[in-house]
Structure 1
Amino acid sequence: MSTVTGGCFCGAVRYAITGEPKSVGICHCESCRRIAGAESVAWAVIPLAVFAITAGEPCAFNSSPGVTRMHCERCATSLTYRVEGRELIDVTLGSLDDAETWIPGQEVFCAEAVSWNALGPSNEHFAEGSSGPKFEAG
């Protein structure tokens, strides 16, 4: 099993992943957009048991009830998203040392996507989360 590594822009926080993601996707929800300062955020959904912080200590905050996000306190790189009680952690693809390691195959909260951000033509599209209805642009 290979190890995938990543961390923040300034290098203060590092992590390692020793397993495969459950899914890889792009989120268009307003909270992800605002926290990242971007039109969307690409995530890998990782079993919590195979994710470890290997250097530094990320800053954690509750972005909404039951949701904890972590980022570097020094450079503010967004690193993770975790729903309370779920044994999974979402890791930003942009914080991986090799952002090409995993390729998104789905897009969620497409109903909240900004109009100028084209959805990936080969991805599955969901109006909200991936367990909800499919999204049809138009």
Structure 2
Amino acid sequence: MSRTASCSCGQLSIVLEGEPRGVGICHCFACQRRTGSVFAALAGFGPSYNVSGIATEYVRTGDQGARFRFRFCPVCGTNLFHTEEGYEARSVAVAVGCFADPDFPPPEISVYHCRRHAWVSLPFGVNIHDKNPA
């Protein structure tokens, strides 16, 4: 099975093979600012993916020192996907909303719950972590 995620204008897209390895929500302030929303919803996939279009990149260092390379569409500004430096060949994280699929699998994990907006409710059974468990 393949899945395609794309930016708002369609200039940048990513095609991924198989089911996501995991789906999660991050409430950290960096993700809130990056997405312009109160959390980021991300799906992790294995290394079999193909990117089409031109991306602008932004590198951010996480709380635990890992460096993440985010890819944005330079036309519409959509933040489509990111990789962790040193692990690009192993996995990619894609913004769930970019699949435009209301049947996409729900999140299994929620990180930085300590920064969750009080009015945000999570689906039953989500594994909650106050910070990043890694």
Indicate the TM-score class for this superposition, using the shorter chain for normalisation: 0.7 to 0.9
Q: What is the root-mean-square deviation in Å for CA atoms of aligned residues? A: 1.6
Partner of 2:72: 71
User: Does residue 51 of structure 1 match 2:52?
Assistant: no
User: TM-score scaled to structure 2, two decimals?
Assistant: 0.86
Contact 1:70–1:81 (CA under 8 A) maintained in structure 2: yes
Unpaired runs of at least 5, structure 2: none
| Range that drifts further, 69-78 or 92-101 | 92-101
1:56-100 superposed Cα distances (whole Å, 9 cap, x missing partner) = 111111122611101111111111122111221110000114242
Contact 1:93–1:99 (CA under 8 A) maintained in structure 2: no
Count of residue correspondences: 128
SS at match of 2:101: coil
Paired with 2:114 and 2:96, the residues of 1 have a C-alpha distance of 22
User: TM-score scaled to structure 1, two decimals?
Assistant: 0.84
Query: Aligned pair in 2 of structure 1 residues 28, 57: CA closer, same or farther (>3 Å)?
Result: same
Unpaired runs of at least 5, structure 1: 132-138
State the Cα distance separating 1:14 from its structure 2 match.
1.4
Counterpart amino acid of 1:57? I
Paired with 1:99 and 1:35, the residues of 2 have a C-alpha distance of 22
Counterpart amino acid of 1:79? L
SS at match of 1:43: strand
Task: Indicate the percent of aligned positions where both proteins have the same amino acid.
Answer: 25
Partner of 2:10: 11
1:93-108 aligned within 5 A: 93-108=96-111
Contact 1:72–1:78 (CA under 8 A) maintained in structure 2: yes
Out of 121, 124, 129, the residue aligned to residue 121 of structure 1 is 124
